[in-house]
Amino acid sequence: MNKPGLPARIMLIMLSLGIIAVLGASLKYRLEDHPIVMHIAPQAMRPAPAAGSAPDAGREGDMSKQGLDAMAEAMQNDPEQAAMIDLMQKMQANPNDPDALLDLADMFMRRGDLERAENFINRAAVAVPSDARPPFYLGVLKERQGKYAEAAESLERSLSMQDNPAARFSLAVLRIYHLNDKTAGRAQLEAALKSPDLTGDLKKLVETELAKL
């Protein structure tokens, strides 16, 4: 779930919420300034229907084969495009599939299309009101928009539904670096450190941030 190196900048993780049973979305992690946890992946394009008059059957077969060959080549060269096509198929089968909705939000967020990402997050929140993932994703999105108080509120809402050390770590970062509340930030880090779900790189990040306070 691609770790760049650790330069003079601290880390932004894309960590799987799937380490917690109720938060089963696939998440990766990445490192940047002040860590906040999220996973995102790019969008691919849907094939457009052909315009104009209908071709004869033989030519239509040739064009279909060419189109399929081109799509197969594109998917082979760009796995993310294949992922987008797969998600679109899932959405056709079930427009309220929360996993597909959040994965699409994920992809649009990586592309910087936060408006579309938020739309998919909101749809997921309506589809599964008791799922802790949509407010978690929304918290990350609001952080990217620089709306730190709203981001913290969304992360707290997520935590009220399901405890999650990744959400606690992200909330701690917001409190410490953006909302000038080191006491509340420390409390979140200490709570994350006690979680049985805290593992690996995230545990190191929690310990590193605690050592700075």
Query: Does some domain include residue 139?
Result: yes
Q: Is residue 11 part of a domain?
A: no
Would 197 be classed as within a structural domain? yes
CA distances to 134, 209, 213 from 184, rounded to whole Å, are 23, 13, 12
| Lookup: tokens for 202 | 């995230």
Cβ(40)–Cβ(34) under 8 Å? no
* Tens place of pLDDT per residue across the chain (213 aa): 444 433 323 333 333 332 232 233 333 333 334 445 554 333 333 334 444 444 454 544 554 556 555 555 555 566 666 777 777 777 778 888 999 999 889 888 988 999 999 999 999 999 999 999 999 999 999 999 999 999 999 999 999 999 999 999 999 999 999 999 999 999 999 999 999 999 889 999 999 999 999
Helices and strands counted in the chain (H then E): 9, 0
Flag whether 29 is in a domain. Answer: yes
- Model pLDDT, residue 89: 79
Give me the CATH number covering residue 28: 1.25.40.10
Q: Domain tally for the chain?
A: 1
Cα 17 from chain centroid (whole Å)? 9
Task: Round to whole Å and give the CA distance between 163 and 195.
Answer: 8
Alpha carbon 11 to its chain's center: 16
CA angle (79, 85, 87) in 5-degree steps: 105
In a domain, 2, yes or no: no
Within-domain flag for 3? no
Query: Model pTM?
Result: 0.66
Alpha-carbon distance of 82 to 74, in angstroms, equals: 8
Pairwise CA distance, residues 78 & 153, whole Å: 36
Is residue 196 situated within a structural domain? yes
Domain that holds residue 170: 17-44+55-212
